[in-house]
Amino acid sequence: MLRSAALLVLFCSVFPVALLTGPRSPQAGAWLEQTQRGFISSSLRLRPSGQELSAYAAYGVTPTLTFGLDLNQSDSGGVQSAHALAFARLPLRQHDTGWQWAMELAAGQRRHSSSWSGVTRVTLSAGRGWQLAGRSGWIAGDLAREWGGPDATQAWKLDSTLGFNARSGAAPILQIELYQPREAALVSKLLPGLRWSLRNDRELLTGVEWRSFGDTRLGLRLELWHRF
């Protein structure tokens, strides 16, 4: 209970920052996709102990419904895990300015070693654009509660992003991922990186990953984002 409460306090204290309105995020759960428009990303994280592959897609079905897929496969030190989830994103507050709020309901399967089991997830997302001292970007957070998996784990997740926009060249981005299982230690990841604009509504993200666990904690990160 204390760990869960700590994550809730962190979510509520990190994001109510006094920021002005600005552009929306290239990838954030607080914003719904426009109708018949979408976003996809593919990600590779390379570590001395293994690698992690991820794919994410979101598509605007209606003005009040975004449907998506969240896929992941990881091999770390010979231990394999994976998940495949489908989700629906629903609006709580969607306006041209100020904070945006949304909720996601997700269900699917998770694998640990050779065992697969059902998993469900509920996510509360908040985000907004900002402009300050001639710079602009966005800030966003996703607080999730998960149930299920092969070991019937209950866990909290908190992912946060601080992104900057750039008129040319690379744009900095900083992401923090926290994972708190019910009966285990808190896992954290720090992900600083740079976004590079490509042609045809594509962006390349390069960076590093630092993990709070394992013998080899530092890795490389590469992502491709595409809007359509």
Q: What is the pLDDT of residue 152?
A: 65
Domains of the chain: residue spans and CATH: 2-227 (2.40.160.40)
Q: What is the pLDDT of residue 21?
A: 37
- Say if residue 8's pLDDT is above 60: no
Tens-digit pLDDT profile for residues 146-161: 998 766 679 999 999 9
Taking CA atoms, 59 is separated from 38, 63, 182, 191, 214, in Å, by 4, 11, 32, 26, 36
User: 3-class DSSP state for residue 51?
Assistant: strand
Q: What is the pLDDT of residue 27?
A: 53
- Say if residue 212's pLDDT is above 50: yes
Tens-digit pLDDT profile for residues 159-190: 999 999 998 899 999 999 999 998 888 999 99
The whole-number average pLDDT for the span 63-76 is 95
* Two structure tokens written together for 150: 């092969």
pTM of the model: 0.84
Q: Would you tell me how many other CB atoms lie within 10 Å of the CB of residue 3?
A: 14
Choice between 58 and 151, residue whose per-residue pLDDT is larger: 58
